């Protein structure tokens, strides 16, 4: 399994309750889904963050999880990545049930995560950050890892930056370094290249031009780098419209709406209409 943790429109998916009727996974039939969340529940103390969440991701899908701040969007990503355990529910990756957290699981496909704040080691160079997992968990020589790092840095538009430190980079550059770390793979184990990427607010805090660079990079990775499926948490309108096929709207721990991006401006769903219009009045109540 691949992760960037540093110590490291497609048809709507069929609800789980309809899997048997639709010819879903079974002993002789592989699951059509790359990712399945079944009845995922998570709380922190008395705060129920996720309340019986179900959704699926098909191979090749780009799904955005949207909604107001503090509604569990990033928590969903961390549970999928295996960095956080759900209190209840199951996760299936390529039809196989996830067992344990990242250090315990052996998922049939790789999952990589790009964190909101890049999560780079300040004391390591860009090259050491990007190649961290290969240095720690491969038999590749330093020269081989150097060449692989240079290759992925070029992919994300940062050639020649391997000897610089995170503090020397802009916010947008640091995020691109985290992208490089998420997609780097050991050529001796090509199946380790992540089949599913998780993006947590990749354009947060960036100006419109820097956001466009990141959005283009996300789309390019999907088209050209073999990582064709992803989940993205974002609040930015341009990022939602330019990078996603389908939306999942999360509020108060539950999915309030799911549909294609093309339905944003025509849906009557009050949550979606309030979110994209920015109106104060509506079902989403801000806490002062």
d(CA 120, CA 108): 27
Per-residue pLDDT of the chain (288 residues; tens, 9 = 90+): 344 433 332 223 333 333 333 344 554 456 789 999 999 999 999 999 999 999 999 999 999 999 998 888 999 999 998 889 999 999 999 898 988 776 655 666 778 877 766 678 889 999 999 988 888 878 889 999 999 999 889 888 889 999 999 999 888 888 888 888 877 877 777 666 678 889 988 888 888 888 888 898 888 888 876 677 899 999 899 999 999 999 999 999 999 999 999 999 999 999 999 999 988 899 998 754
Which helix (H) or strand (E) segment holds residue 199: the answer is: strand 196-200
Question: What is d(CA 274, CA 267) in angstroms, rounded to the nearest whole number?
Answer: 11
What is residue 105's predicted lDDT score, i.e. its pLDDT? 56
Instruction: Please report, for residues 72, 214, 215, 236, the alpha-carbon distance to residue 205 in angstroms, rounded to integers and kept in the order given.
Output: 20, 12, 14, 10
Q: Counting beta carbons within 10 angstroms of the beta carbon of residue 106, is it exposed (0 to 12), middle (13 to 18) or buried (19 or more)?
A: exposed
- Phi, psi values for residue 146, rounded to 5°: -55, -45
Render pLDDT for 238-262 as a digit per residue (tens, 0 to 9): 999 999 999 999 999 999 999 999 9
Structure tokens at 190: 């090509």
CB 202 within 8 Å of CB 235: no
Sorted by sequence, the CB contacts under 8 Å of residue 273 that are 6+ apart come out as 267, 279, 282
C-alpha 226 chain-centroid distance: 15
Q: Residue 190's Cα: distance from chain center in Å?
A: 20
pLDDT in the model for residue 182: 79
- What pLDDT does residue 192 have? 63
pLDDT tens by residue, 168-225: 988 888 888 888 887 787 777 766 667 888 998 888 888 888 888 889 888 888 887 6
């Amino acid at each position: 399994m691949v992760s960037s943790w540093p110590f490291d429109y497609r048809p709507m998916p069929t609800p789980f309750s309809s899997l048997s009727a639709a010819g879903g996974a079974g002993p002789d039939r592989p699951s059509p889904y790359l990712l399945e969340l079944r009845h995922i529940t998570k709380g922190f103390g008395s705060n129920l963050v996720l309340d019986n969440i179900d959704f699926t991701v098909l191979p090749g899908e780009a799904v955005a999880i949207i909604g107001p701040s503090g509604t569990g969007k990033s928590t969903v990503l961390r549970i999928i990545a295996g960095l956080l355990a759900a209190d209840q529910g199951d996760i299936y990756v390529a039809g196989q049930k996830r067992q344990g957290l990242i250090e315990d699981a052996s998922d049939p496909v790789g999952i990589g995560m790009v964190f909101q704040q890049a999560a780079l080691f300040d004391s390591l160079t860009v090259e050491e950050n990007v190649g961290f997992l290969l240095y720690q968990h491969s038999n590749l020589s330093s020269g081989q890892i150097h060449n692989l790092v240079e290759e992925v840095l070029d992919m994300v538009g940062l050639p020649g930056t391997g000897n610089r430190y995170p503090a020397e980079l802009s916010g947008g550059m640091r995020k691109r370094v985290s992208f490089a770390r998420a997609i780097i793979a050991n050529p001796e184990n090509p199946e380790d290249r992540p089949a599913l990427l998780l993006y947590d607010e990749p354009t947060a805090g960036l100006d419109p031009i820097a956001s466009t660079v990141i959005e283009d990079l996300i789309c390019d990775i999907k088209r050209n780098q073999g990582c064709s499926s992803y989940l993205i948490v974002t609040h930015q309108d341009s990022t939602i419209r330019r990078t996603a096929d389908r939306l999942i709207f999360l509020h108060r721990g539950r999915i309030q709406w799911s549909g294609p991006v093309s339905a944003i401006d025509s849906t009557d769903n009050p949550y979606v209409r309030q979110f994209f219009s920015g109106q104060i009045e509506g079902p989403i109540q801000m806490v002062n």
